[in-house]
A = this chain, B = another copy of it.
Amino acid sequence: MNDLSEEPTARDGEPEASSGHGLSAQFIETVTRALEHDDLATAKSLAAPLHYSDLGDLLETLDIEQRAKLIEQIRDDFDPVVLTELDDTVREQVIEQLGMKEVAEAVAEMDSDDAIFVVGELDEHEQDALLASLPAEDRTVIREGLAYEEGTAGRLMQREVVALPEAMTVGEALDFLREDEDLPADFYDVILVDPRHFPVGTVPLSRVVVARRPIALNTLIAKDMKTVPVNMDQEEVAFLFRQRDFTSAPVVDEAGRLVGVITIDDIVDVIDEEHEEDIMRLAGVGEGDNLFTAVMGTVRSRFTWLLTYVVCAFAAASVIRLFQGSISEMVALAILMPIVAAMGGTASVQTLTVAVRAIAMKELTPANALRNVGKEVVVAFLNGMVFAVLVGVIAAIWFDNAALGGVIGLAIVLNLLVAGLYGSIMPVLMQRIGLDPAVASSAFATAITDIFGFFVFLGLATLILL
């Protein structure tokens, strides 16, 4: 991974792979066409010089058969880091095709955090097979890493740490690092430790290179180092990095001893992952339901949510049934009731999304949750009033019935209030009882405002109009 060569340049007559905006559509098409026509030499010559992340993207874009063909062509100089760039489903396929022995060799070459990530994604049976083919030392490191729970700092950290005694000077550090053969591929900070191997501070490399040789390293320590306990949730770790603009943070065991380091490039992946979780849960999509999931996996994951929702929909239908007599008498109610429900649904999804996002960014906390509820109620009331008049007038004219306009207007105000309350309270409650706030998903928000919207509109209509 310490390859210092420059990027290969595109040859004449071949499309350039990447414009800095990822792979170009034209490039992907050329590779696809070559694979389709079994022009394997061309496919190989195009794919082999790619950066590992571009190769990962290319493999993800191809369909199953073409992917298998391409892997076969490039397996001899397959860069193992590509595995860390692939989606779970695609990775499994590639690992199967490469065979356990080759994957083991690949894993042995990786930095410990990458290796643990790749092995951790395998099922238990495969893990054992792979670990068995590894050198004993690598095996121990990976087993230790896997012992930490997924989603914790321990799982995320890299074991290769550049730790120096706190008493060193800049000059001594430079001399020492120049001799050390066993450094990680890239690092951004030096971690100073006391004789017990407790971290005492991090020194950004930019301070090391600008300081004169006799300067003591511990005078260059960055403000407010924070140590990360091995069992800290990765979301918390990401928050810390964001807050403090860290590039590395030392990870410590329960005794406070330095056991690893987390670097900013891992944090970017965590941030992406946490974002994905939020957006997917809000939409009622299972984790790991993405472009690469096989059809049956997607069917199963969507099914669960649809099933939950169909139960809610039957609840809404039952509410309507309560008022079937009213609908028979005045069919306008059936025509207008979806408007009340739909406005409530939109408003609750809006409120909910703002709250979920604010919790993720630690802007919405128990300290200001109540104030936010108050604000959302006022917003709901004001917009409710405007739309009550707007929809009410249109409905009154449409069905030539002023009272009907009044009823739908009132129902809209009340339903928007419920939407505002649900959207601002539920995510905070979810968080309080230890669930992901995004689980108070759009589908539930919509279901609640459907049920309440039908009830209040049809109920008021029955009371007032009939």
How many whole Å from A432's CB to the nearest CB in chain B? 11
Known: A178-B212, A295-B375. A284 touches B349 (CB 8 A): yes
Contact with B along A333-344 (1 / 0, CB 8 A): 011111101110
In the complex, residue of chain B having the shortest beta-carbon distance to the beta carbon of A358:
B291
On chain B, the residues within 8 Å of A272 by CB distance are: 242, 271, 361
CA distance A443 to B346 in the complex (A): 6
Is A107 located at the chain interface by the 8 A CB criterion? no
Contact present for A223 and B271 (CB under 8 Å): no
Contact present for B349 and A21 (CB under 8 Å): no
On chain B, the residues within 8 Å of A299 by CB distance are: 379, 382-383
Contact present for B28 and A210 (CB under 8 Å): no
In the complex, residue of chain B having the shortest beta-carbon distance to the beta carbon of A325:
B331
Stretch at the interface among A94-102, A120-128, A232-240: A232-240
CA distance A174 to B22 in the complex (A): 35
Is A36 located at the chain interface by the 8 A CB criterion? no
Contact present for A283 and B442 (CB under 8 Å): yes
Contact with B along A306-334 (1 / 0, CB 8 A): 10011011101100110010011001101
Contact present for A279 and B278 (CB under 8 Å): yes
On chain B, the residues within 8 Å of A447 by CB distance are: 342
Is A76 located at the chain interface by the 8 A CB criterion? no
- Identical subunits present: 2
Contact present for B350 and A302 (CB under 8 Å): yes
Stretch at the interface among A54-62, A130-138, A143-151: A54-62
In the complex, residue of chain B having the shortest beta-carbon distance to the beta carbon of A188:
B188
Known: A279-B282, A327-B334, A353-B283. A387 touches B317 (CB 8 A): no
Contact present for B335 and A324 (CB under 8 Å): yes
Interface of A is mostly: helix
On chain B, the residues within 8 Å of A383 by CB distance are: 299, 302-303, 306
Is A459 located at the chain interface by the 8 A CB criterion? no
Which of chain A's residues 260-301 have a Cβ closer than 8 Å to chain B? 264-265, 267-269, 271-272, 275-276, 278-280, 282-285, 289-292, 295, 298-299
CA distance A3 to B221 in the complex (A): 10
CA distance A207 to B366 in the complex (A): 46
In the complex, residue of chain B having the shortest beta-carbon distance to the beta carbon of A286:
B350
Is A405 located at the chain interface by the 8 A CB criterion? no
Is A394 located at the chain interface by the 8 A CB criterion? yes
How many whole Å from A128's CB to the nearest CB in chain B? 30
On chain B, the residues within 8 Å of A342 by CB distance are: 309-310, 312-313, 316, 446-447, 450
On chain B, the residues within 8 Å of A204 by CB distance are: 186
Other than the given A28-B367, A32-B367, A295-B382, 11 more pairs (CB < 8 A) read: A6-B224, A21-B236, A264-B264, A290-B363, A295-B378, A303-B386, A305-B346, A312-B342, A316-B338, A317-B339, A338-B341
User: Nearest 6 pairs between A and B by C-beta?
Assistant: A283-B353, A7-B224, A334-B334, A205-B205, A53-B243, A313-B342
| Chain A to chain B contacts (Cβ below 8 Å), 16 pairs | A6-B223, A178-B212, A186-B206, A205-B208, A278-B279, A280-B353, A282-B282, A283-B349, A283-B354, A285-B353, A290-B354, A303-B386, A305-B350, A312-B342, A317-B336, A338-B341
